[in-house]
Amino acid sequence: MVEVSDWNTVDGSGALRVDHYIAGDGDIWFQRRQLDRTEFDVTAVPWYLLGVRGNDASRVVWTGIHALPLDGRPALSAALPLIVFDEFVGVLSVSVALDRIERFLQT
């Protein structure tokens, strides 16, 4: 799981949190958390822009193929606006690398 928050418009950076999980026993298990700063502007990526334009928290939008920000692998993302107490607070997205989809389809 990747999260960018607390964007600083002065220095163009935000707080980066990367949580690592492993799948097993029919569940996912937390492994470790990395905290850092990043200049990755999440508001400029395709899934965020599509999620903002969605305006309907019940409608999922899909991106075209894009590069994952951490490792550059090609991926697809599904996104929708995150609305809390009738206020837009961000975009929730799930990205899946194409090589993982390929492995799944081969089984």
How far apart (Å, rounded) are the C-alpha atoms in residues 91 and 64? 17
Please determine, for residue 77, whether its predicted confidence score (pLDDT) is greater than 80.
yes
Tell me the average pLDDT of the chain.
87
Q: Which helix (H) or strand (E) holds 101?
A: helix 98-106
Q: How much is the pLDDT for 43? A: 83
Q: How much is the pLDDT for 58? A: 67
Residue at token pair 């990205």 = 95
Q: Which helix (H) or strand (E) holds 92?
A: strand 87-97
